[in-house]
Amino acid sequence: MPHMPRFRTAFLGRRPALAALLSGAAGLAMPRLARGQSARPLRFVPQADLTILDPVWTPGIVTRNHGLMVFDTLYGVDTGLQPQPQMAAGHVVEDGGRRWTITLRPGLRFHDGEPVRARDAVASIRRWGQRDTFGIALMAMCDEVAALDDTRLLFRLKRPFAMLPDALGKPGTMNCFIMPERLALTDPGTQVTEMVGSGPYRFVAGEHVVGARTVYQRFEGYVPREGDAPSLLAGPKVAHFDRVEWVSLPDPATAAAALQQGEVDWWEQPPADLAEALRGRRAIRLEVLDTAGSPAFLRFNQLHPPFDRPEMRRALLGAVSQADFMQAVAGTDRSLWRDELGFFLPGSPMASDEGMAALTGPRDLDAVRRALTEAGYRGERIVHLQPTDYPSVSAMNLVAADLLRRCGLNVDLQAMDFGTFIRRIANQEPPQRGGWNSVCVSTAGASWVNPAAHNYLRGNGRRSIVGSPTSERLEALRDQWFDTPPEDHPALGRAMQAAAFADVPFIPVGLFYQSTAYRAELSGMVKGAPVFWNLRRA
């Protein structure tokens, strides 16, 4: 890692451009600002630039965070991952658990002034249910999802499914956000670009400049649900700022300087070295909001050679040192990362040590090179992607590319911005036509607790997100989980992990706990995700 003083020196030369950017944003904001503590906009530096707006189309966390600003959900999970009614006033379960009637809270309105109706929720659920892992499972259990009237929606299920609220309120990414019916009827493979939700903030489309800023205004028509305090994605979502500006600052030194000078209020993901440099400064607070952590993993495109062969993927298990990846992402402080990560979140009922010797045993690159040759590798070009403006993901992809080269693979490392990166990993074409072969990504740890929400532990081919893995064993075991009593989940978790080590939908490369940095005058940070309700400035 670079020595800290180099970054402090680098702060000075970048301030004029930053000042111009921020003054331009402020100039646009000033005519709309009200008096009081909320009059000054909250300025936030996101993990990466927001280039894709549709949070159902992409698993990108920056788009998920945008979705939490603009949209709301029928249910939201609390810090104990228990679903609580959010847009829903409640539900009635009948017919032995096969008929659910959900009633909407009164007074819900979209940002365009239209009331939220049950048919909006139905269309949103159907669209989400074609993209998300949990949603696909829920829709497969439904005989009918319909609006009974403007305030009530009906689920008729093939069999009882007690986890219906868990599905509709899931954390992680690709959440079941409710949007107007006219937008939710968009084909799920096509991006929705008009952002109309019913959440606490509305998206200001006219001020969105890719590569510069994203602007949100408090939605005066939002009615928070009752409750004392928010808990993760549940409870009252009270917006205390009239205006929130996301400022794109891909250079970490510039972001650190802006935070220290008070030009921005909150930096979502400072790299480990700069977070350490900021630690102890009286004006700055450092905190890990998502205590579940961020699992990181090496994903393969299984549609195209050479990683369409499981022998190729299995051969690389013996090369990966999770500690190498995690030190590149989170530094040497072991409290901020852990290795020995399997295919489920450590400490969750499904996690186990099954097959872990493949990742924790001695690393032998000579043996890996021989195994790759035996698997049929003949020097094919490996297109590996790297988003340069997303520090943690960029770092892990540099480590991965170097490791693959040391294993004897012909790696073509292609650098790009995060928006291009997200579009590329969704491309199912061969590498020579804009596709890819391998990539490292990370996601929210809460989605690795069980097979229903685990978007990456799938084997359903082209319907799976990022890489199209195929595994009949994983799919059968996942389906079995829905009918397995909780006391049998650990045994099923062992079986799923054994299948994952055999078919290798991805290789886990570690779990890290990302620090966030913000000005000390901010209070009310909600644990679990970067959300903007309950947040105040002293």
**Per-residue pLDDT tens digits for 409-440:** 999 999 999 999 999 999 999 999 999 999 99
Find all residues with CB under 8 Å of 264, minimum gap 6, and list them. 22, 43, 44, 45, 247, 249, 255, 258
Q: What is the CATH number of the domain that holds 86?
A: 3.90.76.10
Residues 205 and 172 in one domain: no
pLDDT of residue 281 exceeding 60, the answer is yes
pLDDT at 16: 41
Q: What is the pTM of this model?
A: 0.88
Measured CA to CA, the distance from residue 376 to residue 73 in angstroms comes to 48
Last residue of some domain: 124, 159, 184? 184
Q: What is the DSSP letter of 305?
A: T
Structural domain boundaries enclosing 104: 72-184
What does the pLDDT average to over 499-512? 98
Question: Last residue of a domain, which of 134, 151, 184?
Answer: 184
Number of alpha carbons in the 13 Å side-chain half-sphere of residue 47: 22
500 lies in the same domain as 523 = no
Query: In this structure, are residues 419 and 51 in contact, taking their beta carbons and an 8 Å threshold?
Result: yes
Q: Verify that 20 and 159 share a domain, yes or no.
A: no
Sheet holding 88-94, edge to edge: 88-94, 99-104, 152-157, 142-147
CATH number for the domain that contains residue 385: 3.10.105.10
Using CA atoms, how far apart are residues 183 and 148, in angstroms rounded to an integer? 20
* Separation CA 502–CA 473 (nearest Å): 10
Token pair, residue 305, equals 């050679």
435 and 415 within one domain: yes
3-state secondary structure 53-107: CCCCCCCCHHHHHHHHHHCEECEEECCCCCEEECCEEEEEEEHHHCEEEEEECCC
Q: Please indicate, yes or no, whether residues 469 and 361 belong to a single structural domain of this protein.
A: yes
Would strands 243-247 and 42-45 be described as parallel, antiparallel, or unpaired? Answer: parallel
**E-assigned strand segments in 262-336:** 266-267, 284-288, 294-300
Name the amino acid, one letter, at 137: A
Q: CATH number, domain at 34?
A: 3.40.190.10
Q: How far apart are the first and last CA of the chain?
A: 35
pLDDT score recorded for residue 39:
73
Q: How many domains in the chain?
A: 3
150 plus 281 within the same structural domain: no
Mean pLDDT of 318-324: 98
Within 10 Å of residue 201's Cβ, how many Cβ atoms? 26
pLDDT of the residue at 464? 86
- Shared domain for 268 and 305, answered yes or no, is no
- 3-state DSSP call for residue 397? helix
Q: Which pLDDT value is given to residue 38?
A: 58
Residues 299 and 393 in one domain: yes
pLDDT given at position 521: 97
Q: Under 8 Å CB-to-CB from 125, ≥6 apart: which residues?
A: 135, 145, 168, 176
The residues, ordered by sequence, that sit 6+ positions from 430 with a Cβ below 8 Å of its Cβ are: 303, 304
What is the distance between the alpha carbons of residues 18 and 247, in angstroms, rounded to a whole number?
10
pLDDT surpasses 90 at 234: yes
Last residue of a domain, one of 165, 184, 203: 184
CA angle in degrees (0–180, nearest 5) for 375-397-255: 175
Which burial class, exposed, middle or buried, applies to 360 when counting CB atoms under 10 A from its CB (0-12, 13-18, 19+)? middle
373 in the same domain as 430: yes
- β-partners of residue 158 are none
Q: Cα(135)–Cα(453) distance, rounded to whole angstroms?
A: 9
Q: Classify each residue of 77-104 as buried b or exposed e, where b means 16 or more C-beta atoms within 10 Å of its C-beta.
A: bbbebebbbbbbeebeeeeeebbbebbb
Question: Average pLDDT of the chain?
Answer: 91
Tell me the C-alpha to C-alpha distance, in Å, between residue 492 and each of 282, 472, 515: 49, 15, 33
331-380: pLDDT as tens digits: 999 999 999 999 999 999 999 999 999 999 999 999 999 999 999 999 99
CA 57 – CA 183 distance, rounded (Å): 13
Side chain identity, residue 329? V
Q: How far apart are CA 448 and CA 344, in angstroms?
A: 5
d(CA 395, CA 386): 8
Peptide bond into 306 cis (omega under 30): yes
> 128-157 pLDDT, tens per residue?
999 998 999 999 999 999 999 999 999 999
Q: Are 426 and 488 in a shared domain?
A: yes
Percent of the chain surpassing pLDDT 90? 87
Give the count of alpha carbons within 13 A of 328, CB side only: 22
In this structure, are 173 and 37 located in the same domain? no
pLDDT digits (tens, 9 = 90+) for 389-409: 999 999 999 999 999 999 999
Same domain, 325 and 472: yes
How big is the CA angle at 266 (ends 265 and 269), to the nearest 5 degrees? 155
Q: Which tens digits make up the pLDDT trace of 26-51?
A: 333 333 333 344 579 999 999 999 99
Q: How far apart are CA 131 and CA 189, in angstroms?
A: 8
pLDDT at 11 over 50: no
* pLDDT for the residue numbered 280: 85
The partner residues of 157 in beta bridges, in order of sequence, read 142
Give mean pLDDT, residues 240-253. 95
**pLDDT of 456-498, one tens digit each?**
999 999 988 899 999 999 999 999 999 999 999 999 999 999 9
